[in-house]
Amino acid sequence: MLAGYAAGRFRIFTDAASAVLSRFVFVIAMPALIFVSLSKVPVGDFFDWPFLGALGGGMLITMCTSMFVARFLFPDSLTALGLHGLTAMFSSTGYIGLPIILIAFGDAALVPGIIGAVITGTIFFPITIVLAEIDKGGSSGSIFLSPLLAVIKNPILLATIAGLAVSALALDVPKPVATFCNLLGGAYIPCALFSAGLFMVNCTVKGDVREVGWLVFVKLAVHPLITWWLAYHIFELEGALPAIAVLQAALPTGVPVFVLAQQYATFVDRSNAVIFVSTALSIFTLAGLLIFFGT
């Protein structure tokens, strides 16, 4: 990440490079890694309901709580409130989280990491779009069509479905295809972290300081604490799973939130500021958690 930031700051890469590299990570490298990896994983291992409950429950509680607080402390449109809630719980799993937990926990963390990316992209992202469409006063068809299209076009979901289908049918991925996906997937970790550093070069800290500060606090402290409680005391996860769940919750806010804010021309400065500040602070908070978990 620091190398990516330095490359952007010293103009080794242009402003457009961040978007191009991020696109490569999200559309090519990550789906290739997901497909070839899940094709070897038993389908039952993916649907780990206690883990899903801990990780997804933490996201849901965090989003609802932050929206409730914002309704009174930072009143705004329904679109802004939805984006406020999304900013509070949307972890940067694809660009920062999955690379870090793979380095820390090895291949055993791959499926739990993919689950985190799938949940945010296919459940909570569409929920925010529905709220925005309702706020716009769109027709009932557009309210549900927009989020449906967003889910269908998600490369992570498509790669997940394809990989699980190959696994369920007990098919062997042809060696040339597997080699091709492994080569592209091998570029995922360095490119994702480098891309995250590049993105931070153009981030700015604007907007309501109180709201930005509150959201950073929720994302880096409240969200992981809620997930900790669910993972260790409610669902009683075993092995490395509770640590992986907490680390995913403790990640900074993901870039897709800013992209969605731009699409609706709402919450742009605030989401951008939260991404920047939470990413900068997470260098220390994530390092602390990794040391705590002994990885």
25, 33 Cβ separation under 8 angstroms: no
- For residue 295, what pLDDT is reported? 66
Backbone angles phi, psi at 250, to 5 degrees: -85, 0
Tens-digit pLDDT profile for residues 61-100: 999 999 999 999 998 899 999 999 999 999 988 888 888 9
- For residue 282, what pLDDT is reported? 92
- For residue 144, what pLDDT is reported? 63
Domain boundaries, the chain: 2-292
- For residue 143, what pLDDT is reported? 63
22, 195 Cβ separation under 8 angstroms: yes
Tens-digit pLDDT profile for residues 248-262: 999 999 888 888 888
Q: What is the pTM of this model?
A: 0.84
| Secondary structure element (H or E) that encloses residue 158, with its range | helix 155-168
- For residue 178, what pLDDT is reported? 94
- For residue 142, what pLDDT is reported? 61
Residues 6+ apart with CB under 8 A from 81: 67, 70, 71, 131
- For residue 193, what pLDDT is reported? 86
Backbone angles phi, psi at 77, to 5 degrees: -70, 165
- For residue 51, what pLDDT is reported? 95
Altogether, the residues listed in the chain come to a count of 295
Q: State the DSSP code for 209.
A: H
**What is the rounded distance in angstroms from the CA atom of residue 13 to the CA atom of residue 191?**
14
User: Which tokens in the block code for residue 80?
Assistant: 């802004």
Q: Does the domain spanning 2-292 belong to CATH 3.30.70.890? A: no
How many Cβ atoms are within 10 Å of 254's Cβ, its own excluded? 29
- For residue 287, what pLDDT is reported? 93
Q: Which residues of the chain fall short of a pLDDT of 50? A: none
